[in-house]
Structure 1
Amino acid sequence: MAAEDQAPRTKPHPDKSKKRKKPKKDKWGQPFSVAAAEEPLVEPEQEPPAEDVEAAAEAEETAAAAEGYEPGKVVASGLPYTMTEVEIRKLFEWYGPLRSVQLSRFPDSGNFRGLAFVCFESDEVAIKSLELDGFKIGNRFMRVERCRVTASSNRKRKAEFQADPDKSEGCLSAYVGNLSWNVTEKDLQDFFKSSKIASIRFAIDKRTGGFRGFCHVDFQDDESLEKAIGMNQSELQGRPVKIAYSVSNRG
């Protein structure tokens, strides 16, 4: 008998050679490829809850204040006198969104003095912008450093949480805050055109010579003062202006 006749004869399964492996499925019951199966499943990123974002921002501000710095704020000095606010914004916005840019100017001429305060929406971004320290613009090297907390900034921060002061006897002055850095005396005279103004006193930073964003307006009579107080939160140059009775320790 031939050797092949002695081998056990087993009938192959009719579909064995054509049988396909059952496709693997993910946890949602959908099939995925072998290549995909070899890679770990990555869940899509989700934005953190708003509460977490606010808590993180508060933590940043607390940490910055503890170190003696204004949260999210840097000082840029050594800038060319010909540089504009638009150019400064463009330079720093590369690192992240800004809250404000304040240019320090010479009191007599009003010309830019090469010093600017840049406030970011995040203290983390402000720290990253310190990379610009030593950056050359034209023939000058700019200096960028974190803005230190001053006594005036502490008073301003505390005042934000205080109620508006009551009118004192004989008061004819109003505190006018949240003003644009570019506001002029004429702008304020036009703003309070229905009142009789005696004088306007702009608040100037003694260290930098820059405008601090608020002023005191003295009126000629009580009626003019009350008209001005009634304009609280009215808009001037795109900003809601804070107007309250002036107190002796302000300014």
Structure 2
Amino acid sequence: MSSQADEVARLKAELAALQQETASLEKKPKKDKRKKKEKNKRKSTADDEAAKLRAELEAVDAETAALTGAPPPEKKRKKDKKAKKAKTEPAPAVPADTDAPPARRAYVGGLPFDATEESVSNYFSTLCGDLEKVEIQCFEDNPERCCGIAYVTFVEPDSLDRALTLDGESFKGDGRTMKIRRDRTGNKPRRPPPPRVAGSLTVYVGNMPWAASKEEVEAMLADAGCAVSSMRYHTDAETGQFRGFVHAELADESSLSNALALAGTRWRGRELRVSHSETGKKRS
């Protein structure tokens, strides 16, 4: 009995030891997971702390830059990088615009209807300086009467600056005030005239008053020494109103030269535009 009891006790002791060993083996992975979880938590906390420190550092840099006027380090690096890139890359070539007129031209509105080239020239040359050109704009149905607008081109840019100070003044002291500004439209170069079609004697004549009749246009060309074989007098399809330009078929080379010489000359208050016609007819 005694020996059996001792054997049972021994087996129980071995079983308890085995159970304890098994329990320790089962707890070990859980312990490792717990350690890993704690390690990850510490790492996450460290990352949060680092991010917080970086944010505080950037805030200090930004505040310092605002006080000193210098760009923050990050922006400065980007700026230096752009400057270095711009330095290494050649600047794009800017074509010289030789056709654009200088900024010496003024738009003048609010002029009296009886204003003339002479009166406008006297007014601005006296108050502003030497003039290069005065262009009076007239009513289309009355080419001899100013419509209240003129373009004044000065010899020197300073004269234009002085003219701009007269904005809001009265030309004749009658309560009518002028509107003066830099002419922006005049700085846009016009399309170059088309080349001559081989053997063509056809010209385009434009910028004429709408009130001009076909007979008056023919007479104007004849007075300039142009023998006209035929002429297309362009009118509006609905109203029949003259559209201000014609295509004239001339009789000879001499007439062609005389017609082209009319370009830029004034006729009934307007500067004529004359060029070879893009739809010119060929002559044998």
TM-score, normalised on structure 2?
0.44
The answer to which structure has the higher helix fraction is 2
Q: Which has the larger radius of gyration?
A: 2
